[in-house]
């Protein structure tokens, strides 16, 4: 097997297995060897389940010979973010309290991947309880960015995005409550999808010791991959109601509504006085918008008539209660506020969502930053509230960096992130393609079309 195949899109790999150009066992052994040879400096894959994965890959290959394909992901070896319960494999949430936790059952999203033929062989690193813009924890240490190992791959799905970028897995399943799929995808030069809120079941999410049995506000599960086609394929597998609702509920996501850039009316919101963006990153986004216009898209500087600060304040008012189960009891009680305060923020969210819906009557997609800057150097001093980083020579807090992601996440809209280029220092960057609620396939389609003019995923140097 040509090792270049290990960095091919998952959709390409699935077709190669179906056509008997490569076996599941060959892919699995290729990923394991690649992790062994190249994975040390990155530290993305932190737990392996080799024996069971080998048995499953052998069974998949036998089924391929018989013409009995299990599903669209038949035989694909994959890793899963360690915040998601996976049957028979240590699943920790990045916390020492769950260092010996081996779930007896899969999270519904993992079960859907397996039912479609995927073979889970490992788990990827994350910050404790998925609560950081960087990826490190007491159990497994620090994950490094494959484009610059002195920099973070982002959080909280940093191990997932790094593993995809390095060709350590066919694709990944991550989580996103404050940009945790989108930011690592942006930092590592891969594709990510934050689905519409509620489209993919999020049960089995380990954000505290007894977590996984209820849904967290704002949070979603979604794929990280090497192409927009992969995102589309994986959304088809993952999307659907929670298991208890499947007897009566069905989900039919609309088609994207266009086949070329000329079919789309695109608004851009590439920076804002309340959260200015790194100049070089802004230049890459601006050039991308120009390329889309040159290719026939109707592009204009326009965004919904909402205040950036107001909407981010609504996000902060809702995310703190959402993540409070992962905080010490005294901190959670002091910071999460009253139920009445949550209800007021929820009403604000509904009002803001209506403004966005009206704007989308005249526009198909909004393009906006993922974070305020490209990936930044590791900083584990203090905590996320006290850490600062320079953006255009001005100190900015780590919390400020996630505001663009929170702006979109709080109202539950789908957002795909395609890679769009690199800075002069060689750091990859992406942007958000934001679509109306439940029009996830439109967000993916525009990401696909953008990658056609910007080049999409590239293998990091040395990998």
Q: Which of 11, 23, 130, 156 is catalytic?
A: 156
Q: Which of 130, 157, 180, 196 is catalytic?
A: 180
CA distance 350 to 342: 12
Q: Which of these, 223, 215, 184, lies nearest to 197 by C-alpha position?
A: 215
The 3-state DSSP class for residue 412 equals coil
What residues form DSSP beta bridges with 81? 124
- Distance from the Cα of residue 259 to its chain's centroid: 24
Please confirm, yes or no, whether 194 is among the known catalytic residues. no
231 within 8 A of 191, measured Cβ to Cβ: yes
Please confirm, yes or no, whether 81 is among the known catalytic residues. yes
Q: Rounded to whole angstroms, what are the CA distances from 225 to 72, 73, 194, 209, 349?
A: 15, 13, 12, 29, 30
Please confirm, yes or no, whether 70 is among the known catalytic residues. no
120 within 8 A of 107, measured Cβ to Cβ: no
What residues form DSSP beta bridges with 399? none
Q: Which of 11, 23, 24, 81 is catalytic?
A: 81
User: For residue 79, which phi and psi values (nearest 5 degrees)?
Assistant: -115, 160
CA distance 429 to 185: 8
- Rounded to a whole number of angstroms, the distance between the first and last alpha carbons of the chain is 16
Q: Which residues are catalytic?
A: 81, 156, 180
């Amino acid at each position: 097997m040509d090792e270049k195949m290990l960095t091919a899109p998952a959709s390409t790999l699935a077709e190669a297995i179906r056509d008997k150009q490569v076996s599941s066992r060959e892919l699995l052994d290729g990923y394991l060897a690649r992790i062994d040879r190249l994975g040390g400096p990155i530290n993305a894959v932190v737990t392996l389940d080799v024996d069971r994965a080998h048995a499953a890959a052998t069974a998949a290959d036998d089924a391929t010979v018989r013409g009995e394909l299990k599903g669209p992901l038949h035989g694909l070896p994959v890793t899963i973010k360690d915040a998601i319960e996976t049957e028979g494999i240590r699943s920790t949430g990045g916390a020492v309290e769950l260092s010996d936790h081996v779930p007896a059952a899969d999270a519904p999203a993992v079960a859907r991947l397996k039912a479609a033929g995927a073979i889970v062989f490992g788990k990827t690193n994350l910050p404790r309880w998925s609560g950081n813009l960087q990826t490190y924890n007491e159990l497994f240490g620090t994950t490094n960015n494959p484009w610059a190992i002195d920099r973070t791959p982002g959080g909280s799905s940093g191990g997932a995005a790094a593993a995809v970028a390095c060709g350590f897995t066919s694709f990944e399943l991550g989580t996103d409550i404050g940009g945790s799929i989108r930011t690592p995808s942006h930092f590592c030069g891969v594709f990510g999808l934050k689905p519409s809120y509620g489209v993919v079941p999020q049960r089995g999410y380990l954000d505290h010791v007894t977590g996984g049995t209820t849904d967290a506000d704002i949070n979603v599960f979604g794929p990280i991959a090497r192409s927009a086609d992969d995102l589309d394929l994986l959304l088809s597998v993952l999307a659907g109601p929670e298991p208890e609702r499947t007897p009566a509920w069905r989900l039919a996501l609309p088609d994207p509504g266009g086949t070329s850039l000329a079919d789309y009316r695109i608004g851009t919101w590439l920076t804002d006085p309340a959260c200015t963006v790194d100049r070089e990153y802004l230049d890459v986004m601006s050039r991308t918008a120009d390329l889309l216009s040159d290719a026939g898209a109707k592009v204009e500087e326009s965004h919904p008539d909402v205040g950036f600060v107001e909407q981010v304040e609504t996000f902060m008012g809702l995310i703190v209660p959402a993540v409070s189960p992962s905080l010490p009891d005294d901190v959670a009680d002091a910071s999460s506020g009253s139920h009445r305060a949550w209800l007021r923020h929820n009403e604000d969210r509904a009002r803001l969502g209506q403004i966005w819906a009206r704007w989308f009557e005249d526009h198909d997609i909004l393009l906006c930053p993922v974070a305020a800057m490209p990936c930044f150097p590791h900083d584990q001093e203090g905590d996320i509230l006290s850490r600062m980083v320079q953006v255009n020579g001005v100190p900015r807090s780590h919390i400020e960096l996630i505001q663009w992601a929170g702006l979109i996440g709080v109202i539950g809209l789908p957002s795909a992130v395609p890679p769009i280029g690199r800075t002069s220092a060689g750091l990859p960057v992406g942007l958000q393609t934001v679509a109306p609620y439940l029009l996830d396939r439109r967000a993916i389609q525009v990401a696909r079309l953008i990658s056609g003019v910007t080049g999409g995923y590239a293998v990091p140097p040395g990998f």
